[in-house]
Amino acid sequence: MPMSEQDGVGVSRRSVLLSAGAAAGMLGLGGHSALQSLTRDETDAAVEGLFDETQVLNTACAPNCRGKCPLNVHVRDGQIKFVEPQMTDDERYRRGCLLGQSHVQRVYSPKRLKYPMVRADWEPGAPNPGGRGEDARFEQVSWDDALQYVADEMRRVRSEYGPESVFFHTGSGDNGMGTTLFGRLASMFGGTQQSWSIDSNVGVGFNRITGHGFFLPPTNESADWVNANTIIVWGSDLFKSQFQNDASKVLDAIESGAKLVVVDPVYTTTASKADLWLPIKPGKDTHLALAMIHTVLADGSYDDAFLRERTTAGALVRDDTDEMLRMRDLEGDADDDRVVGIHAETGEPVPLEPDTYAEIELFGEYEVDGIRATTGLSLLEDHVADYSPETVASVADLDPADIKTAARWLATRGPGGIAPSYALGRYKYGHVFGQTYAILLALTGDYGKSGTIHAQHPAGTTLNSGEYGSPDGAPGTQSLSMHEVPAALEDGEPFPIKAIYGMESNMLANQFPNRQRWHDLLENVDMFAMADFHRTPTVQHADIILPAAHWFEREDITDAWGSHPHISHRTKAHEPLWDARDDYHIIAELADKLGYDDLFLDDKRAELRKIASNDDRFDFDELRRKGNVRVEDEAAGIKYTDPFPTDTGRIELYDEDHPVEDDGTVLDLPRPIEDRTATDHDLADEYPLLFMQKHSKWRIHSQWADNAMVRKFNAEPTLDIHPSDARERGIDDGDYVRVYNDRGEVVVRASYNEGMRPGLINIDQGWWTDDYVHGSHQDLTHMEVNDLAPTFAFYDVRADVEPAPETIDTSKYTAPESADWLEGYPNGGDN
């Protein structure tokens, strides 16, 4: 039967939803489900007529991973039954991971929020912030009341403190148009939006050299990675986390003969596939990259043509000022700020143009017009003399021959590159590593070619929404970096924050370090509203709870920053369950209540069409039909082909700005700086273990933590610990342990792992507070940031471990009546 004639699907969907809403029934195990009773009779027929009865709709998964995978959703009897990778416009990108393919259990999670709710002891003018937290109780209210509370508080705060005191907070929870819509409202209202202090570390260091990068720098699209001859995966388990959807690309490169090098203190799945694994000591990454530079220079295996054409390797640096010699310093025009090299044949000074080969000396000290100067490459060569492979091997606990091998493969095997993840930036001074490997890849000439790699973050595409986010008459927003928010909350500096509306975020469980401190800081806020589709710990901490639709319950457009070159479409598979609403409708109604009646069209599809009309690379109707459209051409998938956006248009090996870090280290050339990873750190004796919280394959940040299909495989948080560290502390495999430091503690089961470097422990991030028998991984982390690229240093943390106290109640895992992620919350959405 053609789908158009099958109107029964729509009817049954509607009645299913009405029944479920009226009964307020849980979809959880053991509970009687209205969905079940309505569809059971049809089960046999459904099996026989499987593909006659099933609609396959396009949608896309888009948490903040490297996937953003277009998916097919199979819908039958008004229920989502199955999810699979969707064929993509460029078929090399049809892929998905276990998370994308377990959305059924996300949509039908017992932790879905059902109704708008307000904390029972909150009211306008009497917020009782002390009542927030795990024991807070909520009362169901109408949408109208909930949004009126939010609108009234936003207006009150604006008039009492100023518009910037209203904080429009988003995490990275979805890559649909939600943030774009939200930004439009924030701009019109004049509130504050945050900028990131997470993972913007390595990229900032890379930027100092190349002009590219904030988060990880751009890199070629993943389909090009097969052309790499050497891939150095640095501090990343890319086959296990965030990138496994593109595993085929890396595997194809290996199959074609590429060498895979993995630099990681942990023996990971990725390390298990490597030709060479460098089991580095944590915090020594910059040392290692400097030793690789040392090797390339000592071998003379650098790409001299590339250095002459696209870098300042041969540019002279004045001995007197430590700044680059410029044409204006000679007899040139006073405005001529071109840098200068020495021509190899004439010995005369010549200006260096962007991306223009110049036959110049790469090494040497010269005197030009009475000015003594040295080439940037000579300064670098002198600098790395202190970082020979032998010296670094003893610091980083590696074998010097392996360091040389890695460097030689990179330098001599043709195009290749380095793919760091965000882990390196989770050490306080990770930006220095960014600076260092940007220089290393310049020496090996690995920019702007097919097969060159710079990050675990392949070229994707971003929707061009034009001026949509800045409507006419909008005052615009203030910006606060995340690490600046505490001072705003606590001291009102640079301005107070008194009302927060958050969406697509579970910051209080996973993304903000030093969790207890944030709870204290939030006591200064009068109104904290959260929109989400699950009852996360952050939602539990809010005053006003706004139940949002799951991604599959709304029409939307997703783009694929750092992922793949397609724009994708989401079809609404069914109406939002219970009283949940598309974020668009929540935001549009809030705008109405704030007096911005004309800000949104009140028709989501028309609104999407309006946003999409700013991007001439695709047609919205075509996108809706096809599900995804490749919008970037192949050439755009190769990065760094244009002149570098630096002052010279070249990669600047020597940084004449002389950036200075908080400890006084000058970074004209990369110098390793360490915080808590230093063996002589003040805390090293008291807290001898380094504590990291890696991404796992089971979650993207904290998403999917409540997913029954995923918990089937990964039921409980654990501490990965080397058996030698555990035995020394009297800990057996599987024992509950207390992980602690001077800020907090968390209790989890210990899991012996021979692949953990002794001295390093890990709890996979993403677990919700209530998944722990006690504490949270973020109770141990801190908010200290560097000066030059301020980002939270989640892994630069020291701790120790001991057997858990006998008094800790572990029965939720050791003697469960039923796993709690399969049940409703004690005061869940139906009260």
Partner 1 sequence: MTDYGMVIDLERCIGCNACAVSCSQENNVSLDKQWNRILTEGGDAMDTPEGSYPENGRDGTLSMNHLPLACQHCDNAPCVKVCPVNATYKRDDGIVEIDYDKCMGCRYCMSACPYNARVFNFDEPKTLPTDGTGNVEERKQGVVEKCTFCSHRVEEDLDPACTVACPADARIFGDLDDEESTASRYVEKYETEQLLDELETDPNTYYIRGEMSPGRTRSGNELEGTEKKAVGNPNGVATDGGDGQ
Looking only at residues 178 through 237 of this chain, which bind partner 1 when binding is defined by CB under 8 A? none
Minimum CB distance to partner 1, residue 90 (Å) = 9
Q: Are 428 and 681 in contact (CB under 8 A)?
A: no
Question: 546: which 2 tokens?
Answer: 């706004």
Nearest to 210 by CA among 483, 501, 452: 452
For partner 1, the closer of residues 255 and 369 by Cβ is: 255
Using CB under 8 A as the binding rule, the residues of this chain from 760 to 789 that contact partner 1 are none
**Which residue in the set 404, 566, 757, 777 belongs to the binding site for partner 1 (CB under 8 A)?**
757
For residues 5 and 122, give the distance between their C-alpha atoms in angstroms, rounded to a whole number.
50
**Which residue in the set 168, 267, 433, 795 belongs to the binding site for partner 1 (CB under 8 A)?**
267
Using CB under 8 A as the binding criterion, the count of chain residues that bind partner 1 stands at 98
Minimum CB distance to partner 1, residue 691 (Å) = 18
Minimum CB distance to partner 1, residue 93 (Å) = 8
Q: What are the distances in angstroms from CA 54 to CA 1, 43, 553?
A: 11, 12, 17
Minimum CB distance to partner 1, residue 36 (Å) = 4
Applying CB under 8 A, the span of 99-107, 418-426, 665-673, 796-804 interacting with partner 1 comes to 99-107
Minimum CB distance to partner 1, residue 825 (Å) = 16
Pairing of strands 166-170, 138-140: unpaired
For partner 1, the closer of residues 538 and 693 by Cβ is: 693
Q: Which amino acid is at 779?
A: D
101 binds partner 1 (CB under 8 A): yes
For residues 717 and 106, give the distance between their C-alpha atoms in angstroms, rounded to a whole number.
19
For partner 1, the closer of residues 393 and 441 by Cβ is: 393
**Which residue in the set 17, 393, 407, 797 belongs to the binding site for partner 1 (CB under 8 A)?**
393
386 binds partner 1 (CB under 8 A): no
Applying CB under 8 A, the span of 389-397, 476-484, 506-514, 668-676 interacting with partner 1 comes to 389-397
Minimum CB distance to partner 1, residue 693 (Å) = 16
Helices (H), 196-255: 202-210, 247-255
569 binds partner 1 (CB under 8 A): yes
For partner 1, the closer of residues 357 and 713 by Cβ is: 713
Minimum CB distance to partner 1, residue 67 (Å) = 9
Minimum CB distance to partner 1, residue 52 (Å) = 6
For partner 1, the closer of residues 155 and 273 by Cβ is: 273
For partner 1, the closer of residues 38 and 298 by Cβ is: 38
For partner 1, the closer of residues 96 and 460 by Cβ is: 96
Residues whose CB falls within 8 Å of the CB of residue 326, separated by 6 or more in sequence, listed in order:
332, 336, 337, 338, 339, 340
Using CB under 8 A as the binding rule, the residues of this chain from 235 to 264 that contact partner 1 are 239-240, 244-248, 251-252, 254-255
Helices (H), 175-222: 178-189, 202-210
Nearest to 462 by CA among 356, 617, 328, 583: 617
Question: 780: which 2 tokens?
Answer: 């141990």
Q: 338-374 b/e with 16+ CB inside 10 Å = b?
A: bbbbbeeeeeebbbbebeeebebbbeeebebeebebb
Using CB under 8 A as the binding rule, the residues of this chain from 618 to 657 that contact partner 1 are 621, 624-625
Residues whose CB falls within 8 Å of the CB of residue 165, separated by 6 or more in sequence, listed in order:
157, 158, 192, 495, 496, 497, 498, 499
**Which residue in the set 298, 358, 709, 808 belongs to the binding site for partner 1 (CB under 8 A)?**
709
Q: For residue 336, what is the enclosing H or E element?
A: none
For residues 396 and 265, give the distance between their C-alpha atoms in angstroms, rounded to a whole number.
10
**Which residue in the set 258, 560, 708, 719 belongs to the binding site for partner 1 (CB under 8 A)?**
708
**Which residue in the set 303, 555, 668, 796 belongs to the binding site for partner 1 (CB under 8 A)?**
555
51 binds partner 1 (CB under 8 A): yes
For residues 349 and 344, give the distance between their C-alpha atoms in angstroms, rounded to a whole number.
10
For the chain, how are helix, strand and coil distributed in percent, rounded to 5? 35, 20, 50
What DSSP string runs through 503-520? ES--IIIIISSSHHHHHH
Using CB under 8 A as the binding rule, the residues of this chain from 102 to 131 that contact partner 1 are 102, 104-105, 108-110
Q: What are the distances in angstroms from CA 350 to CA 158, 340, 684, 728?
A: 59, 5, 52, 64
For partner 1, the closer of residues 110 and 434 by Cβ is: 110
563 binds partner 1 (CB under 8 A): no
Nearest to 599 by CA among 615, 608, 609, 587: 587
Applying CB under 8 A, the span of 32-40, 298-306, 659-667, 677-685 interacting with partner 1 comes to 32-40
Q: 179-192 b/e with 16+ CB inside 10 Å = b?
A: bbbbbbbbbbbbbb
Q: Is 218 helix (H, G, I), strand (E, B) or coil?
A: coil
Residue 579: exposed, middle, or buried by beta-carbon count in 10 A (0-12, 13-18, 19+)? middle
Minimum CB distance to partner 1, residue 345 (Å) = 45
For partner 1, the closer of residues 85 and 458 by Cβ is: 85
For partner 1, the closer of residues 182 and 821 by Cβ is: 821
Pairing of strands 689-692, 798-803: antiparallel
For partner 1, the closer of residues 252 and 579 by Cβ is: 252
568 binds partner 1 (CB under 8 A): no
Minimum CB distance to partner 1, residue 387 (Å) = 16
Binding mask 678-707 for partner 1 (x = CB under 8 A): -------------------x----------
For partner 1, the closer of residues 406 and 531 by Cβ is: 406
84 binds partner 1 (CB under 8 A): yes
**Which residue in the set 333, 598, 616, 754 belongs to the binding site for partner 1 (CB under 8 A)?**
754
Using CB under 8 A as the binding rule, the residues of this chain from 54 to 83 that contact partner 1 are 54-58, 72, 74-75, 79, 81-83
Applying CB under 8 A, the span of 84-92, 477-485, 497-505, 684-692 interacting with partner 1 comes to 84-92
List residues bridging with 340 in a β-sheet.
351
Minimum CB distance to partner 1, residue 472 (Å) = 30
Q: Are 718 and 748 in contact (CB under 8 A)?
A: yes
Minimum CB distance to partner 1, residue 673 (Å) = 23
For residues 524 and 725, give the distance between their C-alpha atoms in angstroms, rounded to a whole number.
42
Nearest to 92 by CA among 216, 225, 218: 225
292 binds partner 1 (CB under 8 A): no
Applying CB under 8 A, the span of 305-313, 392-400, 559-567, 682-690 interacting with partner 1 comes to 392-400
Minimum CB distance to partner 1, residue 111 (Å) = 11
Pick left, alpha or beta for residue 448 (phi over 0 → left; psi -120 to 50 → alpha; otherwise beta).
Answer: left
358 binds partner 1 (CB under 8 A): no
Minimum CB distance to partner 1, residue 3 (Å) = 5
For partner 1, the closer of residues 523 and 733 by Cβ is: 733
Using CB under 8 A as the binding rule, the residues of this chain from 584 to 623 that contact partner 1 are 621
35 binds partner 1 (CB under 8 A): yes
510: phi then psi, degrees, rounded to nearest 5? -135, -40
**Which residue in the set 220, 693, 702, 751 belongs to the binding site for partner 1 (CB under 8 A)?**
751
Going along 585-682, which residue ranges are E strands? 628-630
Using CB under 8 A as the binding rule, the residues of this chain from 2 to 21 that contact partner 1 are 3-4, 9-10, 13
812 binds partner 1 (CB under 8 A): no
Helices (H), 108-166: 143-161
Q: What are the distances in angstroms from CA 251 to CA 225, 256, 698?
A: 10, 8, 21
